[in-house]
Amino acid sequence: MKRITRYASILILGAASVLASCNKWLDVTSGQEIFAEDAFATTAGYRTALVGIYEKAASTSLWGQELTWGLKSSLSWNYQAGSAVPKYRGPLQHDVFSDGQTMSTLNSIWSTAYNAIANCNNLLQEIEGADPGEFEYSWEKDMIKAEATGMRALFHFELYSLFVAAPVTGFNGTALPYVKEYPTLAPVYASSADFLKNVIDDLTYAMKTLEPIDVDELMSTSHFISGGKELNNMDYYFFQGVGAPNMTGEKRENAFGNGFFARRCCRFNYWASIALLSRVYSYMRDFDNAEKYADMILDETYCTVFSFTLNSKNTKPSTNYGYNQIDYKRRPEPILSFWNDKVCDKYSTAVGTTYNRIVAPESLFDDQTNDYRFTTLYNPDTFMYRVWDDQDYTMKSTSSDNIKYSIPLLPVIELPEMYFIKAEAIARKGDIAGAMALIKKVRDARGCTALLSADDLDSFMNILVDEVQRDCIQRGTTYTFLKKLNWPTMYDGTPARKKLPEGWYVLPIPTSETSF
């Protein structure tokens, strides 16, 4: 394996402006790279290292492209095989992953994720001996540790969900390395069970550590100011624009609003750990725990304090209500998102007016009159879908708040998934009516009026799978959700569906060396 020493490892900096008051140490090197020996010279270095991890997550190799509208949406058969971005056409046209462009993409995902994991581990090791009293807040050290640990779990699980057979298949052989130390020169490949246990342990630690910080500190009445802005702006859901006392007890102007503590929606927060625990337990087919954690989101104070609900505002626009007023990221539904303000430009460059035409959706949508996912997000003239960009106008030139706050979001886990996870869990326990009621809540929020019914588990699961595929077009979630079921088909624009070839759900591990 490639050797990376402490002094040679590079931490990628992001959003350096949030640290402007305390980052003179950045002058030790030029550009946007710093060496690890300098990075932790002050407590500001821990903040910067964490922000760098989030920038890795938002890069094109991960949620900035491949894990959202790129490879994962292609593997979910969202795009016509002949009009997909050329590098994704190999599997769509030949049902195999052996072409050079696909393997290059997989290598990029693998190496970037494990590099980000290495940065998490480096940060966790460096911060362990730091004095909590040197940080601005007494709980800040714990917050950074919990976020880095949660992100480590997220990166690992995403790799697992791509490169390892799902538990539903009965597989419990060797999975992937679960790396907890930096540097790791000889990684040990864990069994599937041990790997998933490490994911659960890291997420549980993050949840328990972040709860008193996010709920008791950052969301407390002394810090949170509601009503100042319309709360469908996610930035204001997560403590944007509020002040906080500094270490001397004085109030800092807009301290959390423009500083390190802003935009908890785009950071690994308490609720993200809960939602991801629900996703992982559902993937493991532990339906009791999957339902338990889904309920913590659906029933939590979080939902009432922040009016956290399914977004029913995305209805078909009237003649004086332009497409640039539609929130394609469906705020406030994302529970965890990353942020990349260049994603619109990158998408437009990659797609142009020719590529990423989605497969004909007519056979998938059962309510083509009222479902805004069909009436509003689908453009039948261009075969484009409006999530990341819209070919009908130039999103980059508008000052609309929906564009300003929606376009940069990279949703990782969203509220509808909690409804889907709970619905499956209770359906498998025999409560088909209750499961259908949960599906109806999602459909109601999408404007659907057509009624669906299921008499047994099999008919319900067909409805659930179709609803997931309708709700997750170009979001990357379909592939993981259907993989956990080992579902044999995917919607490909035809009523018959695409019968998936053997191995579609297990991507080949890159053969190139990488850093752990």
pLDDT, tens digit, 9 for 90 and up, residues 207-244: 999 999 888 777 664 344 444 444 344 444 454 433 34
**What CATH number matches the domain at 323-477, 3.40.50.2000, 3.30.1360.120, 1.25.40.390, 3.90.850.10?**
1.25.40.390
CB 41 within 8 A of CB 25: yes
CB 332 within 8 A of CB 232: yes
Backbone angles phi, psi at 33, to 5 degrees: -125, 140
CB neighbours of 255 closer than 8 A, spacing ≥ 6?
Answer: 242, 243, 244, 246, 261
The pLDDT value given to residue 265:
75
Kindly list the distances between the CA atom of residue 131 and the CA atoms of 50, 51, 134, 139, 141, in Å, as whole numbers in the listed order: 18, 20, 6, 11, 8
Backbone angles phi, psi at 442, to 5 degrees: -65, -45
> Which segments in the chain show pLDDT lower than 70?
1-39, 41, 219-259, 262-263, 300-309, 312-325, 390-405, 513-516
Q: pTM score, two decimals?
A: 0.88
- Using alpha carbons, select from 214, 244, 233 the residue that is nearest to residue 404: 233
Number of Cβ within 10 Å of residue 441's Cβ equals: 14
Number of Cβ within 10 Å of residue 182's Cβ equals: 21
The pLDDT value given to residue 239:
47
DSSP assignment of 33-63: EEEHHHHTSSTHHHHHHHHHHHHHHTSTTTT
Q: Where are the alpha helices (DSSP H) in 327-431?
A: 343-351, 372-375, 401-406, 415-428
The pLDDT value given to residue 12:
38
CB neighbours of 193 closer than 8 A, spacing ≥ 6?
Answer: 172
Peptide bond into 183 cis (omega under 30): yes
The DSSP 8-state label assigned to residue 160 in this structure reads H
Residues comprising the chain, all counted: 516
The pLDDT value given to residue 374:
93
DSSP assignment of 466-491: HHHHHHTTTTSHHHHHHHHHT-SEE-
Beta bridge partners of 411: 337
Q: Residue 274 class from Cβ within 10 Å (0-12 exposed, 13-18 middle, 19+ buried)?
A: buried
Rounded-to-integer distance, Cα 94 and Cα 248, Å = 64
At residue 82, the 3 state secondary structure works out as coil
DSSP assignment of 108-141: HHHHHHHHHHHHHHHHHHHHHTS-GGGSSSTTHH
What type of residue sits at position 12?
A: I
Each residue of 365-379: b (16+ CB within 10 Å) or e?
bbbeebbbbbbbbbb
Q: Would you list the domain boundaries of the chain?
A: 323-477
Can you give the C-alpha Rg of the chain in angstroms?
22
